[in-house]
Chains A and B, each alone.
Chain A
Amino acid sequence: GAVVSQHPSRVICKSGTSVKIECRSLDFQATTMFWYRQFPKKSLMLMATSNEGSKATYEQGVEKDKFLINHASLTLSTLTVTSAHPEDSSFYICSARGPDAGYTFGSGTRLTVV
């Protein structure tokens, strides 16, 4: 079946630095990927839609300059959290539409900003 690989699975960074999270579709091409964040014991919140070769579409309230998304190829989307602060600590998850119905999700990235 379709596999989405997300890297890293965990990252700790210092406040003020930037962190890049990668989302790869391993055995299929994905023109559209999605990025979510999830706080403890809460549901997934859609942040943005990543479109290959064009600008990402952000959901209302999500700062596009804070969360930079690049979808440079049909198998890779990246999310960069710029100038990270402790309140950006969260679980970030990507998803991509595979060849079968439904979306495949990555395993998530636990970001801790100290």
Chain B
Amino acid sequence: DAKTTQPPSMDCAEGRAANLPCNHSTISGNEYVYWYRQIHSQGPQYIIHGLKNNETNEMASLIITEDRKSSTLILPHATLRDTAVYYCIVPPTGTYKYIFGTGTRLKVLA
């Protein structure tokens, strides 16, 4: 099973890009990388996912390295409402089970 490693916390100035890294060096070739965030006392919210190619949606961009051993979630213009815990998840092949790591606590500063 691919284990993910994320820094425990990060600060970002409002309006600047927030770059959240995730290491998943044991990822298998057909395992996706999912990103979720959890705002205090709420359920996790889906952000984006990817396999090999970089992805972008209305919330964020996902950059996956060529060897797929790490990825970076980019919030292009962070706002105070982006303050949350961000989780990078790689579901084990064939299980659909999400195993949450410790995540990164992002604090957006005014």
A78 within 8 A of B: no
Complex CA gap A105/B39 in Å reads 12
User: Given contacts A43-B101, A101-B49, A102-B34, is CB(A107)–CB(B42) below 8 Å?
Assistant: yes
A77 within 8 A of B: no
Decide if the interface of chain A is mainly helix, strand, loop or mixed.
Answer: strand
* Docked complex: A26-42 residues within 8 A CB-CB of B: 32, 34, 36
Size of the chain B interface, CB-CB below 8 angstroms: 20
Size of the chain A interface, CB-CB below 8 angstroms: 23
Annotate B26-43 by CB proximity to A: 1 below 8 A, 0 otherwise: 000000101010100111
Chain A positions within 8 Å of B, measured between CB atoms, are: 4, 6, 32, 34, 36, 43-46, 49, 91, 93, 95, 97, 101-108, 110
Chain B positions within 8 Å of A, measured between CB atoms, are: 32, 34, 36, 38, 41-46, 49, 87, 96-103
